[in-house]
Structures are given as C-alpha cells and as structure tokens.
Amino acid sequence: AQKVTQAQTEISVVEKEDVTLDCVYETRDTTYYLFWYKQPPSGELVFLIRRNSFDEQNEISGRYSWNFQKSTSSFNFTITASQVVDSAVYFCALSATGGGNKLTFGTGTQLKVEL
C-alpha cells in the first residue's frame, strides 16, 4: 500500500521569507513517481513537478526548488522569497506500479503568505 504524509497542516510566513513544505512517502515499489500540486483559493489543481524514483537530482524552477531523498523517503518543496500569490494548499502525491497511474495524495499543507 502507498502512503503520503504531509505533517504540516498549516504554515504562515511573512512575504519574502523562505518556506519548506515537507512530504514523506511510503511504498514497497522500487519504481514510482512523485508529484506536487498547488490548489489556490480558486480551487483548481495545478501541476508543479514530477520526479521518478531513479532521478534524485534536485530541481530548481525560479523561486521553487525540490529536494528528493530516497534514503529518507522524502520529497520536500521549498519556496524562496515567498509571495502573497503563493498562498494555497500544496499537495504531494505518489504514483506507484500496479496500473492506472493512480495518485495517492497527502492531506495537503495550507500555506499562508502575509504582507
């Protein structure tokens, strides 16, 4: 069975602070994919990044960066110099083998960025 844990329910920061959202996953499969999605107040789900289990390179995209560590089963997401527009719920998700590309989601982290 697959499991994704996002222990941080809510985080509040002041604009321009850096913030890291934690994601810990469990799977017995050796091949799997990890994802991050953003859900702004408008409610839609926006894809941010995908990482496969064989690629442990960290990735940076503008103010966003992701740290994947198989040794600790973690796929953490850092926002540098946060902005009010980053306020959203962020979900980490796992797709393991077994057909269907089914996503197992964490419970999400509500990020509030204030002026």
Partner 1 sequence: NAGVTQTPKFRILKIGQSMTLQCTQDMNHNYMYWYRQDPGMGLKLIYYSVGAGITDKGEVPNGYNVSRSTTEDFPLRLELAAPSQTSVYFCASSAGWGTEAFFGQGTRLTVV
Please report, as ranges, the residues that interact with partner 1 according to CB under 8 A.
Answer: 4, 9, 33, 35, 43-45, 47, 50, 52, 91, 95, 97, 99-108
A 10 A CB-CB count for 38 gives 17
| Residue 77 vs 108, nearer CB to partner 1 | 108
All residues at 6 or more sequence positions from 39 whose CB lies less than 8 Å from its CB, including other chains: 45, 46, 88, 89, 90, 91, 108
- Nearest approach in angstroms of CB 37 to partner 1 is 8
Question: For the chain, how many helices (H) and strands (E)?
Answer: 0, 12
CB nearer partner 1, residue 79 or residue 94: 94
Residue 84 C-beta: closest distance to partner 1, Å: 23
Whether the CB-CB separation of 49 and 28 falls below 8 Å is answered with no
> Residue 114 Cβ, how far from partner 1 at the closest point, in Å?
21
